Amino acid sequence: MRYSACIEWLFAAESPDFAGRIHAARAAGLDAVEFWRFSNKDIDAVERALRETGLPLSSILCEPIAPLTDSAAHERFLEGVKVSLAAAKRLGAPVMIAQAGDEQAGISRAQQHASIVKVLKEAARLIEGSGVILALEPLNDRVDHPGYYLTSTEEGLDIIDEVARPEVRLLYDIYHAAVMGETIEVLDGRLDRVVHVHLADAPGRGEPGSGAMDWSDRLDWLEQRGYAGFVGLEYKPTIGTVEGLLFRG
């Protein structure tokens, strides 16, 4: 497995300087880094640190986060796709993460589902030929994101299939799926739709080994079936970051 450090949380205690976390990730032997928003970062410093370390940037957020469930927000989202694409290309990030947004009151789930499909098709046309992929992310609504629409990996996969564009894929988050009671077999037969994976233990969203989730079995399942993308370590360290990385063996 290739591991990408989410430096929003990893190395944060050790390095208050954000770009310095990229150097810390390199020193710790990580394969890549990732972070959320680019708009609140010193992009010059980030670009310089990536160049100095040679670490790839595996993903960034597609900004602004706009509810894809709400057709009134689509124009704002699509404008954001253009800006985010420019940032992704500058920094060499092959994945931009898109979130579906909250469930809309008074609108059927079927309509909201269709709204997500429609805007992702439009986004695919904007990024066609860029080499960058937009990754739709299901999240849990039981602990971290109350009110979020897309809590089902299965529905997320269905959306990807309906969009039917190579520029749009799924981000599979092991932690969020486990909190929602899903097993890894939800990906059976459709793993090729997954472009990026996130990992944290549950409960608590700490490093692997801090909770009670069968995270090792889930990673083994992915590896045995040929998943070749990055596993993003998106967790809140409960011990020192480097110490928490020992699960990698």
pLDDT over 90 (residue 135)? yes
Q: What pLDDT digit, counting tens, does each position of 61-86 carry?
A: 999 999 999 999 999 999 999 999 99
Query: In terms of residue numbers, what domain contains 192?
Result: 2-248
DSSP code, position 133: E
Average pLDDT of every residue of the chain: 97
Number of domains in the chain: 1
The pLDDT of 175-182, averaged and rounded, is 98
Longest dimension (CA), the chain: 51
The number of beta carbons lying within 10 Å of the beta carbon of residue 209 is 15
- CATH of residue 230: 3.20.20.150
Percentage of the chain lying above the pLDDT 70 cut: 100
138 closest CA partner among 156, 116, 165 = 156
Does residue 56 surpass a pLDDT of 70?
yes
Work out the average pLDDT over 106-134: 98
Chain segment 199-235, per-residue pLDDT in tens? 999 999 999 999 999 999 999 999 999 999 999 999 9
Give the model's pLDDT for residue 248. Answer: 86
3 state SS of 54: coil
Q: What pLDDT, on the 0 to 100 scale, is given for residue 221?
A: 98
Q: What is the pTM of this model?
A: 0.97
Q: Which residue, 23, 56, 61, is CA-closest to 39?
A: 61
219-to-15, 30, 174 alpha-carbon distances in Å: 29, 17, 9
pLDDT of residue 249: 65
